[in-house]
Amino acid sequence: MNNQDRILQVNVERGGGKITDLEQREILQVNLDGSGGAFALVYEIQKKIWKNYGNQMIFSYYCMGEFANGETADDIERMGGHIEEGKLRKNRWFGHILLPFYFYKYCKSTKAAIVHIHGDTAFKLFIYAYPAKLAGKYVLVHSHSSGINGKAKHIKMLLHLLCKPLLPLAVDGYLTCSQKATKWMYYKPTQSKVVWLKNGVDTKRFCFNEEERRVQRQRLNLGKDDYAIVVVGDLSIPKNPYFICDVMKKLCVTKSHIRLFFCGDGAEREGVEKYVERLELGNKVVFLGKQRMDRVLNGMDLFVMPSRFEGLPISGIEAQANGLTCIFSDRIAKDVAIIPQTYFTSIDSVDAWCETIEKVMLLDIDRALIYKLVNDAGFDIEASAKNLFKYYESLGD
């Protein structure tokens, strides 16, 4: 059965043994450090579960390095969870060798019976899953990507390919964010067992607000006729920021009223800033850093994501909930397309992107009620939280 047909519901298949209600109260979320899209999803689900179900289910966290957000950590503790930091990132290669031993020891000490591991490669899932299984835990793995990020890609790819067929030795349940993420992460014989948890967002919080649009456009010095394009995410090679700068360079020849906003930080920020200077784009490209996107999106006219790969980008769901026309790379999972004004364009061609942008600039869309389409498609955070709660709960049946 295709994983697209296995959207996470109450009655799902499971492996492993029975988990008692007492043990099941605490879920250990693994390989999440307080930043990134996967953490944002789980944290928002945690808040909804806490609001709707109280302490029936508590989320705690284990990360290899240090937890990135002190304010968020305080909130997690307020909801009954705790955070364990491995502090093994000073030397990442040596840290990865030590990690399985450290994590096994921690799993033996924690009362959490369910270990839910999030990752972008099979290697990262396996080095947590195997010690967790040896420690007697019920192991869930969750695919959040469809490619490899960071340095030493060839080594990472080799380790990923080696560990894909090994995952069934240590895993009881498989989850995914998209069909592409399933094919990337899981060995073919196990793909029929994978269930899809939709990357939900708070659709009401992200729905379009005309007054907030006025505030944001004034804050960003946008005139009435200015056309604002936004890129959301970390400034990294997989996000392809240099490509969209090339697109802007060509567009600005005939479209002087276009502005591009980068929302996010990352290792490539300085490089992209220098590239913008070299292209002589001046104030046509603005670097905003991290922002409250539920506010900023209101001031934008178009959302673009030229990524080399993604699992299923939460920022793309948020943009659609805001009613923004969206242009995605043709290498992003098509599962992200919810509203009609969503386009996929090849990142092999700057000209193709320019043509698509020029076409959508002519659209006149009433954004106010589009969030309902996202909600009706099951991408509201309330639905994601309910489905994941029921899934965890079913493991004790």
Per DSSP, the residues of 25-94 read TEEEEES--S-SHHHHHHHHHHHHHHHHHGGGSEEEEEESS--S-HHHHHHHHHTT--EEE----SSHHH
Count of Cβ atoms closer than 10 Å to residue 287 Cβ: 15
b/e per residue 89-128 (b: at least 16 CB within 10 A): eeeeeebbeebbebbbebbeebebbbbbbbbbbbbbbbbb
Length of the chain measured in residues: 397
Cross-sheet strand order for the sheet of 227-232: 285-287, 258-263, 227-232, 302-305, 325-329, 342-345
What is the third-level CATH fold of 3-200+380-394? Answer: Rossmann fold (3.40.50)
Has residue 149 got a pLDDT over 90?
Answer: no
Q: Where would I find the H helices in the chain?
A: 21-24, 37-53, 70-78, 92-109, 122-134, 153-163, 179-185, 203-206, 210-219, 241-251, 269-278, 293-296, 314-321, 350-360, 371-376, 381-394
Which of 10-19, 89-98, 315-324: highest mean pLDDT?
315-324
Question: Tokens at residue 339, please?
Answer: 């509203």
Q: So where are the chain's domains?
A: 3-200+380-394, 205-376
Higher pLDDT pick, 357 / 2? 357
Q: What is the pLDDT of residue 151?
A: 73
Average pLDDT (199-205) is 95
Residue range 205-376 forms a domain whose CATH class is: alpha beta
Q: What secondary structure letter does DSSP report for 252?
A: T
Has residue 222 got a pLDDT over 60?
Answer: yes
Question: Tokens at residue 177, please?
Answer: 């964010």
Under the banding of pLDDT at 50, 70 and 90, the label for residue 391 is: very high
pLDDT digits (tens, 9 = 90+) for 299-314: 999 999 999 999 899 9
Close Cβ partners of 19 (under 8 Å, ≥ 6 residues apart): 113, 114, 138, 395, 396
Average pLDDT (9-35) is 63
Task: Let me know if the fold of 3-200+380-394 is the same as that of 205-376.
Answer: yes
Question: Tokens at residue 259, please?
Answer: 């502005």
Estimate to the nearest angstrom the gap between the alpha carbon of 329 and the chain centroid: 16
Whole-model pTM: value is 0.88
Report the C-alpha gap between 285 and 242 in whole angstroms: 12
Question: Tokens at residue 38, please?
Answer: 């996967």
Angle between helix 381-394 and 37-53 (nearest 10): 80
Strand partners, 87: none
